[in-house]
Chains A and B, each alone.
Chain A
Amino acid sequence: MIGVSDAGPLGGDPRDERAASEGQHHARGDWRTLDLAALDVGAERAYWIALQTLPGMGPVTFARLLHAFGSARGAWEAGERLLPLMARQAPDTAAVLRRLLRDGAETVARRVSRMTMGVGGVILTALDNSYPRALTDVDPRPAVLYAAGDLEAFDATCVAIVGTRRASGYGRAAAAHLADELGRAGAVVVSGLALGIDGEAHRAALDAGGRSIAVLPSPLGRIYPPRHRELARRLVATGGALVTEIGPGQSIGRPDFARRNRIIAGLASAVVVVEAPNRSGALLTAQAAIDYGRVLYAVPGPMGASNSEGPNRLIADRQADLITSPAALLHQVGVHRPSGPISVASLSESEGLVLQTLLRRSASIEELLEPTRLAPGAVASTLTLLEARGLVTSYGGVTFHPTVVARRIDREAVKADAPSASDAPA
């Protein structure tokens, strides 16, 4: 284990690694003090790409190599002398390095490039012009990104919507509502393609005709979670993008999920936390947003609901702005909703009554009885009708939420007269 003490402490979290290595000039791994402009893209690119394939290579280690050897090419030519600078080595790192050196950087880079293109992706190094500009605030910066889709999406106004995988109906409806408004206003919704809030945000943005970027915790060729493969395909097909710092064929682990959250925050100009219990990954994104100077918003939730502990605390600690309506968010990120209210085929009296009640507040059948003065059977019957029309949805079957379409209906069309006798069973 010669040289490990020189390389700084072992550790999985890039933040720890960075903090601990500060002050040791030859071992520092920060990106702020690197002068990338001084490097020759043409000469360096292959070495950047090739070095990422080394097991245990992360953005901090890579920055450390750049500091120590001046360039990736310098590090490559140093050969096995770079090993002592790698804090996290896999058992086979040395063997892989020898093989890489034998093959040559050009060959390795071509191989990675071919694999990336095989799944419809491109490689973006931090030296490239097409590398997302917003990520220059991110530290540790992803040295190499693998992206698929339309890279112009990175240049639009990006807003991240993040939250727990175990979302409640309220959280899902809130994420969908915000993403819908953002999507129609032309903003790009950024999230992590996870189940729950993430998926809801991507989907609603696409349904609204908008674009969306997903930052994956896995290689491009292995969409995680598999259930969102179709969503990922749709996302690319509609002018959005998939992006990841995990190279093709690399295995993924738990830290990869936490690390991709900093990229989500970095890509966006504003981050919205919808639902996040304590210790949720979405709170890592929130912390990253604060670190990178992004505007942080949080959707408030009921007192005592564990899913809302995160956003509520962010609001209470004045770390995040409370979102009162999607309109306020649009205004603050500087995008505008173009279209006016949509019209629907006229609603019956009971439909109007139920929908208007739901637009004020999502409710269960039980909670709809009092304000609508309808019989339980009539409420149920009306809800089915509204569901069939795509105006109302229910995630768990208890609480009914107006859909994003319902929110765009002209309020005038939603009448709230007294229910007619014919709607109520005897």
Chain B
Amino acid sequence: MLARMLSASILGIDGVLVRVEVDVAFGLPGLTIVGLAGSAVLEARERVRSALRNGGFELPARRMTVNLAPADLKKEGTAHDLAIGIGILAASGQLKVQHEDVLLLGELALDGQLQPIAGVIALVDAARGAGIREAIVPLANGGEAAVVHGVTVRPAATLGDAVAHLAGVRSLAAQQPARSAVSAPAGEIPDLEEVIGQSSARRAVELAMAGRHALALCGPPGVGKTLLLRAALGLLSPLGDDEAIEVSRIYSVAGLLDRRTPVTAARPVRAPHHTVSTQGLVGGGAQVRPGEASLAHRGVLLLDELLQFRADALEALRQPLELGSVTIARAEGALRLPARFQLLAAYNPCPCGWRNADGGNCSCEDGAARRYAARLSGPLRDRIDLFVTLGEAGFGARRTGSEPTRSVAARVCVAVERQAWRAGRPNAELSMSELLASGTEAGVAARLETFGRQLGVSRRRLVLALRVARTAADLEGVDRIAARHVQEALTYRPAKVAP
């Protein structure tokens, strides 16, 4: 007898529906799984056998064949256990399924308990896309799965509970969708008023956080680069509802989701150490996993000591900075992982850190310093909207009176709302034509060209400058970009390298 169940598998960060076909026939007793099953899937044989027996069911002494279709898709993970187990019961006549078209997800423990799995949001979402209206998921994944609208999610504690529901004996309760929890971002975030002086850098932070612009701070050690970047996190705007689900979906696939608060309004902040591999940064691996760039999707990728990162890892960031996604080429085809993060970075100008600082004592060899600075390649440089070189606060710096985060946040909030209302996207994502259409004072476009020529900056830099200028205008609360905004934006171009 043949039974068909529904399960799903992860491909990149997307779910793909998998049909689990189970055939129980006369022959030598045994359980065979076919359909490009990975090792974790093949081990399902042992888990399902024990779970069925310990759950009080009978393991038919027949030849059982499980096919996972589509057969050309490589399946990994343990999410198929439940569908295989129930498929065997149905095919052997122990269960007459009353509820057809139910997505079955879960890993079986040997005693029949359902264990949580990774990527539930994407898996359930794939089912919703295929018109499936109901899903049974492990109890621990319930809140997470219910994030997907339009699918009734029924969490089950054991194989037995799932069987009872499907047989129509005892219905499983539907999980209520969780409300978006507002949680404070993790870690201590310093207040901007703790930053002494550095008004230029504080202004750049304000612009960056208002328009989600990529920001790089350069300067000698100890001038407050890291403090500024951490304080900048206090200006992050909350995630929109759709954005929050996108983020949870990625975290769910990566197995990093906090199951108690599956959806939060806090933007993710990822600060990988500079020893991270290229794969760790942008994703990849035999079984593709999202990298830090994708985990920072809709949030912040904070790279302290930017130039200490491996050169190939840095270059790999070019694509996500440009397109908002990472493409990973595999033998089976290319996978696209979303990675629309805001880059916040800090670096020293040379290995010792004191290059070009007035009165500084750089002890680096010229060649070494030049090679170090060259790690920030031209193409990468041209994808960072704001550059600020920090000097020491100096004798003239005001020791007090730095503006607190609270009052900067008020301005940022207004600017963020203006952007949401205008384009539904932050200024950092607008194209040249969108920027010009957003309103400029007469002659600003021509001025931009002139400045570009006089200052010797690239066309790409001019687009970045216009984006920043748009944000400066938004912070000021004016509709049209004026020359002064463009001029200010151009101040934050990378410092020219002194010969």
Q: Which residues of A are in contact with B by a Cβ distance under 8 Å?
A: 165-170, 172, 195, 199, 227-228, 277, 301-302, 304-308, 363-367, 369-370, 376-385, 387-390, 394-399, 423, 425-426
Q: Are B362 and A302 in contact (CB under 8 A)?
A: no
Inter-chain contacts of B476 with A (CB < 8 A): 425-426
Residues A195 and B389 in contact, CB atoms below 8 Å apart = no
Contact A398 B472 (CB under 8 A): no
- In the complex, chain B residues whose CB is within 8 Å of the CB of A423: 484
**Contact of B366 with A381 in the complex, beta carbons under 8 Å:** no
Closest Cβ neighbor of B197 among chain A residues: A366
- Alpha-carbon distance A199/B477, docked complex (angstroms): 46
> Is B391 located at the chain interface by the 8 A CB criterion?
yes
A383 to B200, CA, bound (A): 12
Are B488's CB and A169's CB within 8 A? no
11 contacts between A and B (CB under 8 A): A166-B362, A168-B359, A195-B366, A277-B361, A381-B491, A384-B490, A385-B487, A395-B496, A399-B391, A426-B476, A426-B477
B487 near A366 with CB under 8 A, answer no
Does B454 contact A381, Cβ atoms closer than 8 Å? no
A377 and B203 in contact (CB under 8 A), knowing A166-B366, A364-B391, A366-B197?
Answer: yes
B residues less than 8 Å from A388 (CB atoms): 450-451, 454-455
Nearest first, the 7 closest Cβ-Cβ pairs linking A and B are A397-B495, A397-B389, A396-B356, A398-B391, A305-B359, A380-B491, A381-B487
**Given the complex of chains A and B, what is the CA–CA distance between A298 and B475 in angstroms?**
48
Judge whether B349 and A396 touch: CB under 8 Å. yes
Residues 352-372 of B, flagged 1 when their CB comes within 8 A of A and 0 if not, give 000111111110001000000
Q: B34 → chain A, closest Cβ, in Å?
A: 63
Q: Contact at B491–A384, with CB atoms within 8 Å?
A: yes
B394 within 8 A of A: yes
B424 located at the interface, meaning its Cβ lies under 8 Å from any Cβ of chain A in the complex: no
Are the CB atoms of A366 and B397 closer together than 8 Å? yes
Alpha-carbon gap, A398 to B359, bound state (A): 12
A117 to B77, CA, bound (A): 76
Instruction: Assess whether A396 is in contact with B498, with CB atoms less than 8 Å apart.
Output: yes
Describe A's contact surface by its main secondary structure. Answer: helix
Give the contacts of B449-499 with A (CB-CB under 8 A): 450-451, 454-455, 472, 475-477, 484-485, 487-488, 490-492, 494-496, 498-499
> Contact residues of B with A, CB < 8 Å?
197-200, 202-203, 218-219, 349, 355-362, 366, 387-391, 393-394, 396-398, 450-451, 454-455, 472, 475-477, 484-485, 487-488, 490-492, 494-496, 498-499
For A380, list chain B residues within 8 Å (CB): 200, 203, 487-488, 491-492
User: Which residues of the other chain, A, contact B398 by a CB distance below 8 angstroms?
Assistant: 369-370
CB distance from B228 to the nearest CB of A (A): 13
Residues of A within 8 A of B490 (CB): 384
Judging by beta carbons under 8 Å apart, are A396 and B389 in contact?
Answer: yes
Specify which of B388, B454, B485, B498 is in contact with A395 (CB 8 Å cutoff).
B498
CA distance A191 to B394 in the complex (A): 33
| A388 nearest in chain B by CB position | B454
CB distance from A171 to the nearest CB of B (A): 9
CA distance A390 to B453 in the complex (A): 12
Q: Majority SS of interface residues in chain B?
A: loop
What B residues does A277 contact at CB under 8 A?
Answer: 361
A381 contacts B488, CB within 8 Å? Answer: yes
Q: Please indicate the chain B residues that have their CB under 8 angstroms from the CB of A305 in the complex.
A: 358-361
Residues from chain A with a CB closer than 8 A to the CB of B219 are 398
Q: Is the CB of B393 within 8 A of A381?
A: no
Whether A384 pairs with B455 at a CB distance below 8 angstroms is yes
Give Cα distance in the complex from A367 to B450, angstroms: 28
Residues of B within 8 A of A170 (CB): 358-359
Bound together, the chains give a CA A49 to CA B488 distance in angstroms of: 60
Residues from chain A with a CB closer than 8 A to the CB of B499 are: 195, 199, 227-228
Selected from B218, B455, B484, the residue in CB contact (under 8 A) with A378 is B484
Least Cβ distance of B306 to chain A in Å?
A: 16
A366-B200 contact in complex given A168-B360, A383-B491, A388-B454, C-beta closer than 8 Å: yes
Minimal Cβ-Cβ distance residue in A for B198: A366
Q: How near does chain A come to B346, taking the closest CB pair, in angstroms?
A: 14
Residue among B218, B396, B450 with the most chain A CB within 10 A?
B396
Residues of B within 8 A of A369 (CB): 199, 398
A contact residues around B358 at 8 Å (CB): 168-170, 302, 305, 396, 398-399
Chain A residues lying within 8 Å of B397, measured Cβ to Cβ, are 366-367
CA distance A28 to B201 in the complex (A): 63
Beta-carbon contact of A384 and B391 below 8 Å: no
Extra contacts, 20 of them, besides A370-B398, A384-B490, A397-B218 (Cβ < 8 A), are: A301-B359, A307-B361, A365-B199, A376-B200, A377-B488, A380-B492, A381-B487, A382-B487, A385-B487, A388-B454, A390-B454, A395-B495, A396-B355, A396-B357, A397-B388, A398-B358, A398-B389, A399-B358, A399-B391, A425-B472
Q: Shortest CB–CB separation between residue A102 and chain B, in angstroms? A: 42
Give bound CA distance, A227 to B497, whole Å: 13
Contacts of A398 in B (CB 8 A): 219, 356-358, 389-391
CA distance A369 to B499 in the complex (A): 29
Rounded to whole angstroms, the CA-CA distance of A388 and B449 in the bound complex is 11
Is A302 a contact partner of B359 (Cβ separation < 8 A)?
yes
Neighbouring A residues of B393 by C-beta, 8 Å: 366
Which chain A residue lies CB-closest to B499? A199
Within 8 Å by CB of A306, from B218, B356, B361, lies B361
Chain B residues positioned under 8 Å from A378 (CB to CB) = 484, 488
* Cβ-defined contact, B357 with A366, below 8 A: no
Query: Among the interface residues A166, A301, A306, A367, which one has the most CB atoms of the partner chain B within 10 A?
Result: A166
